[in-house]
Structure 1
């Protein structure tokens, strides 16, 4: 088992930002005339959006391919949350430029948040870009592709107050057939001073709950056993029926508002064998109603991503987070009280925000000690053009100081991740099997309710099954055990 543990140590706490990861479209061969290749960068919402894009273009005569050299249309679905994410996309575009020299008819487009932020500049600066479309413009992609086919450049970065893509059944790209994303809302009304999302994804819009329930039911009927409800701030989900169908109004009453707690309760009732996760929560908006709903349903996973960003109240105020250190710690206490000490907690942390002092950095470290996160996304502050912070506050922390503070946060989180995983050794966990271990097909992997990866010998078990696993040992990022009756 020692060698397996050494191999599995690559599954570390989330030390890098989500926007450094990417996903490529899968092969879909139904005989359609053109091939679509999509690379998705950034958050889970981008991956979900790429599935919507694939669905829209599937109806317009496109299959998807995982081989960029076979593609007629290449889309990069981009992230703007950090400068490094944008640099990654620009480097990738330079590479595609080399490919396009050998296949000049290839159409290249940039989608998502980076497209929304830079808009027409992409067409002017990046000569290989033929098409630019923001997150609310995907229904227009067939027309935009048509413009390019006729020899024109094409752009649509209009932000909508209504678009939720509720009527579109996503094509599940790179799906394991067990887990799937379900978008429940779009946009964000929070104006965190460091964040570009309100400017690249627009205002909050909640999706019709009936369409969410229908999608969850369809996924379950097709063999999926876990859905993750997605939104920039899922706790802000609110849907009022007055502008929707009459049957719902007659059933529920015209003045009812469906909250996130209500929605969670309804999705959990699709089937007790369908696990429910959600992301992301804003500390100021998650309610005890949500926590009690989670406690009532065994199939709602006991795992919350609750970004703190900083452990210091003054810095949180500069960030426009609308809560204090003390308030956040009270919320964590409520989570532990209602859901138990084993509820998985993860976070985002920014080192070196504008004017952060050494003492304020230490406040982040002591808050981490108080909370004991299971894992975290950790990065140093990267000024984003157009954000309130870029306009109001000088980016005055030297890079060397940011890097050192970030390293201190990472070291502490690694220790906490190991401590939290050691608590799980000797316990039996219900695991949903997602597939083979990355290192060996003699082992399977899945996650427990707290969103922790567990690896165990394959034996007779299959992907999509639930299995009870006794954890015998662990690393800082992975639990290792064996199936038990």
Structure 2
């Protein structure tokens, strides 16, 4: 790990993926620390079969695994973290990078070896890779028994009956209305303090580099009442912080159900009573004033001033916005089909700084996109200098099958050039990590304790409103407490301080 929470897992993703502060934020960016995590919940004595479910990819995938575990718990399955006890293995997959797919393929091959000693064992693939590679996985390579797309999890009981009968089973149909709003997700391997609450599924932003619209379908939003009910249940169980989650949360729009793109055909009454993201955010903040609220991920073209103003009105909405820029070059943004210019992006940044002076801002950047010139690269470096992000997720472009860029653009930037440009971006971001972290020193900040520090058993670890990690001596506090901490020192990644007592939020 470098000095500013920039993680380099080039050995795993072939120098393609770097990112900051992933332990604080699990959005659609992959967190290598949790890849392949197996999930387990409290056993029910009446359940006689064991489910071994392994998750890869983004926070949406991990949240989906909780939905799957909840559905199968009513079908006689307990979850297990012991492979040898499994009757059903499910792998929730990611298609965002080729190396990620290769890792999952290797795991599936290993599971097939286990089947030789456990003939009744069935193996299934869930999620984005399932939808994209269903024919290869089932028919050509014959390494799975079941393939289930991200909108078909409610069909799992029927699909399991099929494989139990000795037949392969597949359902990768993308839905126009499925949001799983009626499923209460189990909380798997949680710290009992923070939780994800999915509010949208799919994406309508056809960025040329992104496979998500093809693997998760068109965008639809979840009934706000079901969201409130889920948050209420989390509060009842003692959770203290939620992250409202979606591929693009700012485009949340509930008008009674259906795809967002069909809103123009809604009735006048539906339009008049519709709930957008700003309204949803305020509704949740008002209903649960003791619950700390985050959201992710935002898209510059959809983030409106009313969202920023709502954040400013409510203390329990955290001062952090993840706002992917992808490139500082208007020409490259157009090639990416990003529907904002860099000037519009800077205007949004300026408005955030004016309305929320203490708000932290993080980024996604892709370097080495097809046709990117040195001038384009310099524009990206200038964008970094303009914003001075608190942290970021930085990638070298890699072609993904099925995307518009994969079909119509040549991956024409040499790997050596990509790596050099990426290293320059990371070096500049590293400076800005230090710059932003130092600004917290000398302040008293509210911190939610999430657990023990990884470096010391004698210190607590939590995050402030800006999503920066804070460590401080344990004393008599406990996980889940809100504590005011005097910040006395910092690294480029972590704040260090002394507790001053409980905050008003306890």
Which TM-score band applies after superposition, normalised by the shorter structure?
A: over 0.9
Give the Cα–Cα distance (whole angstroms) in 2 for the partners of residues 126 and 388 of structure 1.
27
Once the two structures are superposed, what CA deviation does each residue of 1:412-461 show, in whole Å capped at 9, x if it has no partner? 11121111111111211100111111233211111110111111111101
Give the Cα–Cα distance (whole angstroms) in 1 for the partners of residues 341 and 270 of structure 2.
37
Give the Cα–Cα distance (whole angstroms) in 1 for the partners of residues 161 and 456 of structure 2.
46
Whether the 8 Å contact between 2:245 and 2:295 is mirrored in structure 1 is: yes
TM-aligned CA distance change 1:255 to 1:367, over 3 Å? same
TM-aligned CA distance change 1:84 to 1:10, over 3 Å? farther
Give the Cα–Cα distance (whole angstroms) in 1 for the partners of residues 161 and 97 of structure 2.
32
Give the Cα–Cα distance (whole angstroms) in 1 for the partners of residues 257 and 44 of structure 2.
41
TM-aligned CA distance change 1:316 to 1:435, over 3 Å? same
Whether the 8 Å contact between 1:235 and 1:286 is mirrored in structure 2 is: yes
Tell me the equivalent position of 1:376: 392
Q: CA deviation at 1:156?
A: 0.5
Tell me the equivalent position of 1:81: 96
Give the Cα–Cα distance (whole angstroms) in 1 for the partners of residues 52 and 494 of structure 2.
33
TM-aligned CA distance change 1:409 to 1:11, over 3 Å? closer
Tell me the equivalent position of 1:247: none
Give the Cα–Cα distance (whole angstroms) in 2 for the partners of residues 37 and 76 of structure 1.
8
Residues 1:285 and 2:302 aligned together: yes
Give the Cα–Cα distance (whole angstroms) in 2 for the partners of residues 254 and 383 of structure 1.
39
Tell me the equivalent position of 1:4: none
Match for residue 68 of structure 1 among 68, 75, 83? 83
Secondary structure of 1:269's aligned partner:
helix
Match for residue 158 of structure 2 among 143, 147, 163? 143
Secondary structure of 1:285's aligned partner:
coil
Q: Compare 93-102 and 403-412 and name the one that shifted more.
A: 93-102
Q: CA deviation at 1:242?
A: 8.0
Q: CA deviation at 1:347?
A: 1.0
Tell me the equivalent position of 2:6: 13
Whether the 8 Å contact between 1:19 and 1:79 is mirrored in structure 2 is: no
Tell me the equivalent position of 2:183: 168
Whether the 8 Å contact between 1:136 and 1:157 is mirrored in structure 2 is: yes
Once the two structures are superposed, what CA deviation does each residue of 1:128-165 show, in whole Å capped at 9, x if it has no partner? 31111000000011111111111111111000001001
Give the Cα–Cα distance (whole angstroms) in 1 for the partners of residues 341 and 4 of structure 2.
32
Give the Cα–Cα distance (whole angstroms) in 2 for the partners of residues 116 and 68 of structure 1.
25
Whether the 8 Å contact between 1:242 and 1:254 is mirrored in structure 2 is: no
Tell me the equivalent position of 2:291: 274
Q: Which 4+ residue blocks in structure 1 deviate beyond 4 angstroms?
A: 8-11
Give the Cα–Cα distance (whole angstroms) in 1 for the partners of residues 115 and 392 of structure 2.
38
Q: CA deviation at 1:270?
A: 2.2
Whether the 8 Å contact between 1:241 and 1:254 is mirrored in structure 2 is: no
Q: CA deviation at 1:254?
A: 7.1
Tell me the equivalent position of 2:55: 40
Give the Cα–Cα distance (whole angstroms) in 2 for the partners of residues 429 and 60 of structure 1.
46
Q: Compare 428-437 and 66-75 and name the one that shifted more.
A: 66-75
Give the Cα–Cα distance (whole angstroms) in 1 for the partners of residues 217 and 412 of structure 2.
29
Give the Cα–Cα distance (whole angstroms) in 1 for the partners of residues 102 and 480 of structure 2.
37
Q: CA deviation at 1:102?
A: 2.9
Once the two structures are superposed, what CA deviation does each residue of 1:301-332 show, in whole Å capped at 9, x if it has no partner? 01011001111100000000011111111111
Unaligned runs of 5+ in 1: 1-7, 244-251
Q: Compare 51-60 and 24-33 and name the one that shifted more.
A: 24-33
Secondary structure of 2:287's aligned partner:
coil
Give the Cα–Cα distance (whole angstroms) in 2 for the partners of residues 482 and 459 of structure 1.
10
The TM-score normalised by the length of structure 2 is 0.90
Tell me the equivalent position of 2:447: 431
Tell me the equivalent position of 1:3: none
Secondary structure of 2:321's aligned partner:
strand
Tell me the equivalent position of 2:325: 308
Tell me the equivalent position of 1:248: none
Q: How does 1:33-432 map to 2 (within 5 A)?
A: 33-241=48-256, 255-340=272-357, 342-432=358-448
Q: CA deviation at 1:295?
A: 0.3
Aligned residues: 469
Once the two structures are superposed, what CA deviation does each residue of 1:341-364 show, in whole Å capped at 9, x if it has no partner? x21111111110000001111111
TM-aligned CA distance change 1:95 to 1:411, over 3 Å? farther
Whether the 8 Å contact between 1:13 and 1:417 is mirrored in structure 2 is: no
Give the Cα–Cα distance (whole angstroms) in 2 for the partners of residues 128 and 482 of structure 1.
54
RMSD between aligned residues = 1.7
TM-aligned CA distance change 1:9 to 1:28, over 3 Å? farther
Match for residue 26 of structure 1 among 40, 43, 67? 40
Give the Cα–Cα distance (whole angstroms) in 1 for the partners of residues 442 and 331 of structure 2.
42
Give the Cα–Cα distance (whole angstroms) in 2 for the partners of residues 413 and 338 of structure 1.
24
TM-aligned CA distance change 1:431 to 1:105, over 3 Å? same
Give the Cα–Cα distance (whole angstroms) in 2 for the partners of residues 334 and 11 of structure 1.
26
Q: CA deviation at 1:13?
A: 3.0
Whether the 8 Å contact between 2:203 and 2:248 is mirrored in structure 1 is: yes
Give the Cα–Cα distance (whole angstroms) in 2 for the partners of residues 203 and 284 of structure 1.
17
Q: CA deviation at 1:11?
A: 7.8
